[in-house]
């Protein structure tokens, strides 16, 4: 596969790494909260740091918009470091929800477009957050982020 085709494949694989915001569920408790976002992924931003073409040490950065009910409620920023030329990457991100605080997460990025996230912490209203989540890429620059927080 040519370097250009491989980069394009990684771009599709990562889907811009943006998150989507929806509404929280009606079954929230002080112990377990589910948050859903519609994600507008940022343009693909790839830096070739290792061997020419996709390789270990290359970096992808993202700054995506999160929406709920058609309005922007926050954003998320993060980065992925490639660990092999097939596009396997270690990714981390921070969701910012205005004055409410932040939620941090990490995940392994590889096909398919369904990613499983580990919620690793937060700040403000989310300072004791843990839990997990999913990121599903739609293939059109949008996706859905679901965070299941446990305080």
d(CA 29, CA 37): 19
Within 10 A of 43 (CB to CB), how many other CB atoms are there? Answer: 10
pLDDT at 9 over 80: no
Place of tokens 């941090």: 104
* 66-98 pLDDT, tens digit each: 999 999 999 999 999 999 999 899 999 999 999
**Average pLDDT of the residues in 124-139:** 96
* 31-52 pLDDT, tens digit each: 679 999 999 999 999 999 989 9
12 pLDDT band (50/70/90 cuts)? Answer: very low
Phi, psi of 27 (to 5 degrees): -110, 30
For 5, residues 6+ apart whose C-beta sits below 8 A from its C-beta are: none
Which DSSP helix (H) or strand (E) runs through 120? strand 114-122
Q: Calculate the alpha carbon distances from 97 to 15, 122, 123, 125 in Å.
A: 22, 11, 10, 10
- DSSP character at residue 43: P
d(CA 78, CA 54): 19
d(CA 137, CA 58): 21
d(CA 30, CA 75): 24
- The encoded tokens of residue 6 equal 């491989």
- Determine if the pTM surpasses 0.85: no
Percent of the chain with pLDDT over 70: 79
């Amino acid at each position: 596969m040519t370097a250009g085709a491989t980069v394009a494949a990684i771009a599709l694989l990562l889907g811009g790494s943006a998150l989507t915001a929806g509404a929280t569920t009606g079954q929230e408790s002080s112990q377990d909260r589910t948050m859903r976002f519609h994600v507008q992924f940022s343009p693909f931003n790839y830096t070739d740091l290792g061997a020419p073409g996709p390789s270990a040490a290359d970096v992808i950065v993202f700054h995506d918009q999160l929406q709920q009910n058609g309005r922007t409620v926050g954003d998320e920023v993060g980065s992925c470091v490639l660990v092999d030329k097939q596009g396997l990457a270690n990714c981390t991100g921070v969701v910012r929800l205005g004055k409410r605080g932040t939620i941090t997460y990490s995940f392994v990025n590889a096909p398919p477009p369904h990613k499983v996230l580990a919620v690793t912490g937060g700040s403000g209203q989310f300072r004791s957050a843990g839990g997990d989540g999913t990121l599903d890429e739609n293939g059109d620059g949008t996706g859905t982020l679901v965070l299941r927080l446990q305080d």
